[in-house]
Protein backbone atom coordinates (compact mmCIF):
# COMPACT_ATOMS: atom_id res chain seq x y z
CA UNK A 1 0.00 0.00 0.00
CA UNK A 2 2.85 2.40 0.71
CA UNK A 3 4.31 1.81 -2.80
CA UNK A 4 0.95 2.65 -4.35
CA UNK A 5 0.66 5.80 -2.27
CA UNK A 6 4.21 6.96 -3.07
CA UNK A 7 3.71 6.37 -6.81
CA UNK A 8 0.49 8.42 -6.71
CA UNK A 9 2.18 11.21 -4.75
CA UNK A 10 5.08 11.61 -7.22
CA UNK A 11 2.92 12.84 -10.13
CA UNK A 12 0.99 15.10 -7.77
CA UNK A 13 4.22 16.54 -6.38
CA UNK A 14 5.54 17.11 -9.89
CA UNK A 15 2.25 18.71 -10.92
CA UNK A 16 2.30 20.96 -7.85
CA UNK A 17 5.92 21.96 -8.55
CA UNK A 18 5.15 22.78 -12.20
CA UNK A 19 2.15 24.87 -11.15
CA UNK A 20 4.27 26.74 -8.61
CA UNK A 21 6.88 27.49 -11.31
CA UNK A 22 4.13 28.64 -13.69
CA UNK A 23 2.60 30.88 -11.03
CA UNK A 24 6.01 32.34 -10.16
CA UNK A 25 6.67 33.14 -13.83
CA UNK A 26 3.20 34.66 -14.15
CA UNK A 27 3.82 36.88 -11.12
CA UNK A 28 7.23 37.90 -12.49
CA UNK A 29 5.58 38.83 -15.78
CA UNK A 30 2.96 40.86 -13.94
CA UNK A 31 5.65 42.70 -11.97
CA UNK A 32 7.58 43.43 -15.16
CA UNK A 33 4.45 44.70 -16.92
CA UNK A 34 3.61 46.94 -13.96
CA UNK A 35 7.13 48.42 -14.02
CA UNK A 36 6.76 49.15 -17.73
CA UNK A 37 3.34 50.75 -17.19
CA UNK A 38 4.63 52.83 -14.28
CA UNK A 39 7.62 54.08 -16.27
CA UNK A 40 5.45 54.84 -19.30
CA UNK A 41 2.91 56.63 -17.12
CA UNK A 42 5.60 58.81 -15.55
CA UNK A 43 6.99 59.64 -18.98
CA UNK A 44 3.51 60.45 -20.29
CA UNK A 45 2.84 62.70 -17.29
CA UNK A 46 6.10 64.58 -17.91
CA UNK A 47 5.24 65.01 -21.59
CA UNK A 48 1.75 66.24 -20.71
CA UNK A 49 3.23 68.81 -18.29
CA UNK A 50 5.54 70.01 -21.04
CA UNK A 51 2.64 70.26 -23.46
CA UNK A 52 0.62 72.19 -20.88
CA UNK A 53 3.46 74.68 -20.44
CA UNK A 54 3.75 75.14 -24.20
CA UNK A 55 0.02 75.65 -24.63
CA UNK A 56 -0.13 78.11 -21.73
CA UNK A 57 2.77 80.08 -23.18
CA UNK A 58 1.15 80.10 -26.62
CA UNK A 59 -2.17 81.32 -25.15
CA UNK A 60 -0.48 84.12 -23.19
CA UNK A 61 1.59 85.17 -26.21
CA UNK A 62 -1.57 85.22 -28.33
CA UNK A 63 -3.26 87.46 -25.78
CA UNK A 64 -0.19 89.71 -25.69
CA UNK A 65 -0.20 89.95 -29.48
CA UNK A 66 -3.90 90.86 -29.52
CA UNK A 67 -3.28 93.43 -26.77
CA UNK A 68 -0.47 95.05 -28.75
CA UNK A 69 -2.59 95.13 -31.89
CA UNK A 70 -5.50 96.73 -30.01
CA UNK A 71 -3.17 99.28 -28.43
CA UNK A 72 -1.63 100.06 -31.83
CA UNK A 73 -5.16 100.48 -33.20
CA UNK A 74 -5.70 103.30 -30.73
CA UNK A 75 -7.46 101.75 -27.73
CA UNK A 76 -6.31 103.10 -24.38
CA UNK A 77 -3.86 100.85 -22.55
CA UNK A 78 -6.16 100.51 -19.53
CA UNK A 79 -9.02 99.27 -21.74
CA UNK A 80 -6.70 96.79 -23.47
CA UNK A 81 -5.48 95.41 -20.14
CA UNK A 82 -9.05 95.17 -18.83
CA UNK A 83 -10.09 93.27 -21.95
CA UNK A 84 -7.16 90.85 -21.55
CA UNK A 85 -8.07 90.25 -17.91
CA UNK A 86 -11.64 89.50 -18.95
CA UNK A 87 -10.42 87.07 -21.62
CA UNK A 88 -8.18 85.31 -19.09
CA UNK A 89 -11.03 85.06 -16.60
CA UNK A 90 -13.35 83.70 -19.29
CA UNK A 91 -10.79 81.06 -20.27
CA UNK A 92 -10.36 80.13 -16.58
CA UNK A 93 -14.13 79.70 -16.23
CA UNK A 94 -14.18 77.47 -19.33
CA UNK A 95 -11.34 75.31 -18.00
CA UNK A 96 -13.11 75.10 -14.64
CA UNK A 97 -16.25 73.90 -16.43
CA UNK A 98 -14.30 71.17 -18.20
CA UNK A 99 -12.71 70.11 -14.91
CA UNK A 100 -16.12 69.90 -13.19
CA UNK A 101 -17.56 67.89 -16.07
CA UNK A 102 -14.62 65.50 -15.96
CA UNK A 103 -14.93 65.08 -12.19
CA UNK A 104 -18.64 64.35 -12.51
CA UNK A 105 -17.89 61.64 -15.06
CA UNK A 106 -15.33 60.13 -12.68
CA UNK A 107 -18.06 59.40 -10.11
CA UNK A 108 -17.80 55.74 -9.11
CA UNK A 109 -21.30 55.50 -7.65
CA UNK A 110 -22.67 53.98 -10.89
CA UNK A 111 -19.96 51.32 -10.88
CA UNK A 112 -20.53 50.70 -7.20
CA UNK A 113 -24.29 50.33 -7.74
CA UNK A 114 -23.72 47.87 -10.59
CA UNK A 115 -21.31 45.87 -8.45
CA UNK A 116 -23.70 45.78 -5.49
CA UNK A 117 -26.65 44.79 -7.71
CA UNK A 118 -24.65 41.99 -9.30
CA UNK A 119 -23.69 40.68 -5.85
CA UNK A 120 -27.34 40.77 -4.75
CA UNK A 121 -28.36 38.76 -7.83
CA UNK A 122 -25.96 35.97 -6.90
Domain boundaries, the chain: 1-53
| Structure confidence at residue 107 (pLDDT) | 75
Q: What is the pTM of this model?
A: 0.58
| Structure confidence at residue 60 (pLDDT) | 94
Handedness of CA 18, 22, 27, 31 (dihedral sign): positive
Alpha-carbon distance of 70 to 64, in angstroms, equals 10
Tens of each residue's pLDDT in the chain, 122 residues: 455 556 667 888 888 999 899 999 988 988 888 999 999 999 999 999 999 999 999 999 999 999 999 999 999 999 999 999 999 999 999 999 999 998 888 877 777 677 777 666 66
Is-contact 67 80, C-beta < 8 A? yes
Is-contact 83 64, C-beta < 8 A? no
Is-contact 97 111, C-beta < 8 A? no
Alpha-carbon distance of 18 to 12, in angstroms, equals 10
Q: Running DSSP on this structure, what letter comes out for residue 108?
A: -
**What's the full length of the chain, in residues?**
122
Handedness of CA 55, 58, 64, 66 (dihedral sign): negative
| Structure confidence at residue 4 (pLDDT) | 55
Amino acid sequence: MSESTSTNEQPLTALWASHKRWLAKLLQLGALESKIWLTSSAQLLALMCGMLMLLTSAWLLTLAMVAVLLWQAGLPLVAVMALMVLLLLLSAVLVYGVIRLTLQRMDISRSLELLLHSQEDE
